[in-house]
Protein backbone atom coordinates (compact mmCIF):
# COMPACT_ATOMS: atom_id res chain seq x y z
CA UNK A 1 0.00 0.00 0.00
CA UNK A 2 2.98 2.27 -0.55
CA UNK A 3 2.27 5.47 -2.43
CA UNK A 4 4.94 5.92 -5.08
CA UNK A 5 7.31 8.85 -5.35
CA UNK A 6 6.33 11.69 -7.66
CA UNK A 7 2.57 11.13 -7.39
CA UNK A 8 1.42 13.42 -4.59
CA UNK A 9 0.91 17.15 -4.91
CA UNK A 10 2.97 19.42 -2.67
CA UNK A 11 0.09 20.29 -0.26
CA UNK A 12 -0.70 16.59 0.30
CA UNK A 13 2.99 15.81 0.83
CA UNK A 14 3.34 18.63 3.35
CA UNK A 15 0.18 17.59 5.20
CA UNK A 16 1.37 13.98 5.28
CA UNK A 17 4.79 15.02 6.56
CA UNK A 18 3.21 17.08 9.35
CA UNK A 19 0.86 14.27 10.38
CA UNK A 20 3.67 11.72 10.21
CA UNK A 21 5.98 13.94 12.26
CA UNK A 22 3.25 14.45 14.86
CA UNK A 23 2.76 10.70 15.16
CA UNK A 24 6.52 10.17 15.42
CA UNK A 25 6.75 12.75 18.21
CA UNK A 26 3.93 11.07 20.13
CA UNK A 27 5.42 7.63 19.56
CA UNK A 28 8.96 8.53 20.59
CA UNK A 29 7.73 10.43 23.64
CA UNK A 30 5.82 7.36 24.82
CA UNK A 31 8.46 4.80 23.86
CA UNK A 32 9.78 3.05 26.95
CA UNK A 33 13.47 2.12 26.49
CA UNK A 34 12.62 -1.32 27.84
CA UNK A 35 10.31 -1.77 24.83
CA UNK A 36 13.00 -1.03 22.22
CA UNK A 37 13.70 -4.72 21.43
CA UNK A 38 9.98 -5.37 20.86
CA UNK A 39 9.68 -2.20 18.77
CA UNK A 40 12.62 -3.29 16.62
CA UNK A 41 11.06 -6.74 16.23
CA UNK A 42 7.76 -5.22 15.09
CA UNK A 43 9.61 -3.02 12.60
CA UNK A 44 11.15 -6.20 11.17
CA UNK A 45 7.73 -7.92 11.07
CA UNK A 46 6.24 -5.00 9.15
CA UNK A 47 9.26 -4.86 6.83
CA UNK A 48 8.90 -8.52 5.86
CA UNK A 49 5.08 -8.63 5.74
CA UNK A 50 4.81 -5.63 3.42
CA UNK A 51 7.82 -6.56 1.30
CA UNK A 52 5.88 -9.11 -0.76
CA UNK A 53 3.51 -6.92 -2.74
CA UNK A 54 1.42 -6.88 -5.91
CA UNK A 55 1.62 -3.60 -7.92
CA UNK A 56 -1.71 -1.81 -8.41
CA UNK A 57 -1.30 1.34 -10.50
CA UNK A 58 0.69 3.83 -8.44
CA UNK A 59 0.38 1.72 -5.28
CA UNK A 60 0.49 -1.95 -4.24
CA UNK A 61 -1.41 -4.60 -2.28
CA UNK A 62 0.10 -6.70 0.50
CA UNK A 63 -0.34 -7.71 4.12
CA UNK A 64 0.45 -4.97 6.64
CA UNK A 65 -0.07 -6.37 10.16
CA UNK A 66 -0.23 -2.73 11.24
CA UNK A 67 -3.20 -3.41 13.50
CA UNK A 68 -1.26 -6.09 15.36
CA UNK A 69 1.75 -3.78 15.63
CA UNK A 70 -0.56 -1.13 17.09
CA UNK A 71 -1.88 -3.61 19.67
CA UNK A 72 1.63 -4.48 20.80
CA UNK A 73 3.21 -1.03 20.66
CA UNK A 74 0.50 1.63 20.90
CA UNK A 75 1.88 4.97 19.68
CA UNK A 76 5.32 3.40 19.29
CA UNK A 77 3.91 1.85 16.11
CA UNK A 78 4.87 5.14 14.42
CA UNK A 79 8.66 4.87 14.86
CA UNK A 80 8.57 1.12 14.16
CA UNK A 81 6.70 1.54 10.87
CA UNK A 82 8.71 4.64 9.95
CA UNK A 83 11.99 2.74 10.20
CA UNK A 84 10.64 -0.18 8.14
CA UNK A 85 9.30 2.14 5.42
CA UNK A 86 12.53 4.13 5.31
CA UNK A 87 14.56 0.94 4.81
CA UNK A 88 12.18 -0.26 2.09
CA UNK A 89 12.45 3.08 0.31
CA UNK A 90 16.26 3.12 0.49
CA UNK A 91 16.92 -0.55 -0.24
CA UNK A 92 14.12 -1.48 -2.64
CA UNK A 93 12.66 1.84 -3.86
CA UNK A 94 9.23 0.95 -2.43
CA UNK A 95 7.36 4.18 -1.79
CA UNK A 96 9.96 6.93 -1.45
CA UNK A 97 11.56 9.39 0.91
CA UNK A 98 9.38 12.36 -0.03
CA UNK A 99 6.21 10.37 0.69
CA UNK A 100 7.66 8.75 3.82
CA UNK A 101 5.66 10.92 6.21
CA UNK A 102 2.40 10.27 4.39
CA UNK A 103 2.99 6.53 4.06
CA UNK A 104 3.95 6.32 7.73
CA UNK A 105 0.76 8.08 8.81
CA UNK A 106 -1.44 5.98 6.49
CA UNK A 107 -0.11 2.74 7.97
CA UNK A 108 0.72 3.63 11.58
CA UNK A 109 -2.31 5.72 12.55
CA UNK A 110 -4.76 2.85 11.90
CA UNK A 111 -2.64 0.70 14.22
CA UNK A 112 -2.92 3.31 16.96
CA UNK A 113 -6.68 3.53 16.41
CA UNK A 114 -6.99 -0.26 16.66
CA UNK A 115 -4.94 -0.17 19.86
CA UNK A 116 -7.42 2.32 21.33
CA UNK A 117 -10.52 0.49 20.10
CA UNK A 118 -9.60 -3.18 20.52
CA UNK A 119 -6.60 -3.32 22.84
CA UNK A 120 -8.53 -4.33 25.94
CA UNK A 121 -10.61 -6.84 23.99
CA UNK A 122 -7.56 -8.51 22.40
CA UNK A 123 -5.85 -8.71 25.81
CA UNK A 124 -8.88 -10.35 27.43
CA UNK A 125 -8.38 -13.64 29.25
CA UNK A 126 -11.53 -14.85 27.51
CA UNK A 127 -10.16 -16.56 24.38
CA UNK A 128 -13.21 -16.02 22.12
CA UNK A 129 -13.25 -12.32 23.03
CA UNK A 130 -9.52 -12.03 22.41
CA UNK A 131 -9.90 -13.78 19.06
CA UNK A 132 -12.69 -11.38 18.11
CA UNK A 133 -10.51 -8.44 19.15
CA UNK A 134 -7.66 -9.73 17.00
CA UNK A 135 -9.95 -10.27 14.01
CA UNK A 136 -11.43 -6.78 14.32
CA UNK A 137 -7.94 -5.32 14.69
CA UNK A 138 -6.69 -6.90 11.48
CA UNK A 139 -9.79 -5.96 9.53
CA UNK A 140 -10.04 -2.36 10.72
CA UNK A 141 -6.30 -1.74 10.52
CA UNK A 142 -6.20 -2.72 6.84
CA UNK A 143 -9.52 -1.00 6.12
CA UNK A 144 -8.36 2.33 7.52
CA UNK A 145 -4.97 2.15 5.80
CA UNK A 146 -6.65 1.44 2.46
CA UNK A 147 -9.11 4.27 3.08
CA UNK A 148 -6.42 6.79 4.11
CA UNK A 149 -4.22 5.87 1.14
CA UNK A 150 -7.13 5.99 -1.32
CA UNK A 151 -8.15 9.42 -0.01
CA UNK A 152 -4.57 10.69 -0.38
CA UNK A 153 -4.46 9.46 -3.98
CA UNK A 154 -7.83 11.05 -4.74
CA UNK A 155 -6.57 14.37 -3.35
CA UNK A 156 -3.53 14.18 -5.65
CA UNK A 157 -5.73 14.89 -8.68
CA UNK A 158 -8.73 13.75 -10.68
CA UNK A 159 -6.53 11.45 -12.77
CA UNK A 160 -5.81 9.33 -9.67
CA UNK A 161 -9.42 8.81 -8.57
CA UNK A 162 -9.75 5.56 -10.53
CA UNK A 163 -6.47 4.33 -9.02
CA UNK A 164 -7.77 5.22 -5.55
CA UNK A 165 -10.95 3.23 -6.15
CA UNK A 166 -8.99 0.25 -7.52
CA UNK A 167 -6.63 0.32 -4.55
CA UNK A 168 -9.43 0.27 -2.01
CA UNK A 169 -11.44 -2.45 -3.74
CA UNK A 170 -8.38 -4.64 -4.30
CA UNK A 171 -7.69 -4.62 -0.55
CA UNK A 172 -11.16 -5.82 0.48
CA UNK A 173 -10.26 -9.55 0.26
CA UNK A 174 -6.85 -8.86 1.82
CA UNK A 175 -8.64 -7.24 4.79
CA UNK A 176 -10.15 -10.59 5.72
CA UNK A 177 -6.84 -12.43 5.26
CA UNK A 178 -5.18 -9.82 7.49
CA UNK A 179 -7.99 -10.21 10.04
CA UNK A 180 -7.56 -13.99 10.17
CA UNK A 181 -3.77 -13.79 10.49
CA UNK A 182 -3.99 -11.17 13.24
CA UNK A 183 -6.60 -13.17 15.16
CA UNK A 184 -4.38 -16.26 15.08
CA UNK A 185 -1.35 -14.26 16.28
CA UNK A 186 -3.35 -12.66 19.10
CA UNK A 187 -4.68 -16.06 20.14
CA UNK A 188 -1.17 -17.53 20.14
CA UNK A 189 0.26 -14.64 22.16
CA UNK A 190 -2.63 -14.91 24.60
CA UNK A 191 -1.56 -18.49 25.32
CA UNK A 192 2.21 -18.18 25.45
CA UNK A 193 2.98 -14.50 26.20
CA UNK A 194 -0.16 -12.65 27.37
CA UNK A 195 2.03 -9.93 28.88
CA UNK A 196 2.97 -8.78 25.36
CA UNK A 197 -0.63 -7.68 24.80
CA UNK A 198 -0.54 -5.68 28.04
CA UNK A 199 2.88 -4.05 27.72
CA UNK A 200 1.76 -1.20 25.45
CA UNK A 201 -0.99 -0.21 27.89
CA UNK A 202 1.36 -0.35 30.85
CA UNK A 203 3.89 1.82 28.97
CA UNK A 204 1.15 4.29 28.04
CA UNK A 205 -0.01 4.50 31.65
CA UNK A 206 3.55 5.03 32.82
CA UNK A 207 4.04 7.76 30.20
CA UNK A 208 0.85 9.44 31.36
CA UNK A 209 2.06 9.48 34.97
CA UNK A 210 5.42 10.92 33.92
CA UNK A 211 3.93 13.64 31.70
Domains by residue range for the chain, with CATH = 10-210 (1.10.1760.20)
Band (pLDDT 50/70/90 cuts) for residue 77 is very high
Q: Work out the average pLDDT over 183-211.
A: 74
Taking the model in full, what pTM does it have?
Answer: 0.87
pLDDT higher than 70, residue 171: yes
Report the pLDDT value the prediction gives residue 207, as an integer from 0 to 100. 53
How far, in Å, CA of 134 to CA of 130, rounded? 6
Q: Work out the average pLDDT over 38-49.
A: 91
For the chain, the first-to-last Cα distance in angstroms comes to 35
| Segment 90-102, tens digit of pLDDT | 988 877 889 999 9
Q: Work out the average pLDDT over 44-48.
A: 90
Average predicted confidence (pLDDT) for the chain: 86
Report the pLDDT value the prediction gives residue 53, as an integer from 0 to 100. 66
Question: What's the half-sphere exposure (Cβ side, CA atoms, 13 Å) at 161?
Answer: 3
pLDDT higher than 90, residue 1: no
Q: Kindly give the interhelix angle for 100-122 and 77-92, rounded to the nearest 10 degrees.
A: 140
Q: For residue 130, what are the contacts with CB-CB under 8 A and spacing of at least 6?
A: 121, 122, 123, 124, 186, 187, 190, 197
Amino acid sequence: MHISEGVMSAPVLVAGAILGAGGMYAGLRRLDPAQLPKTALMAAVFFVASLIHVPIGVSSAHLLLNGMIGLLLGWAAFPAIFVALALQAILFQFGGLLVLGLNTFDMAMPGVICYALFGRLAASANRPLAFAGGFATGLVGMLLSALFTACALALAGQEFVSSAEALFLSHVPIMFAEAAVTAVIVGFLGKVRPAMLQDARLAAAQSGRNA
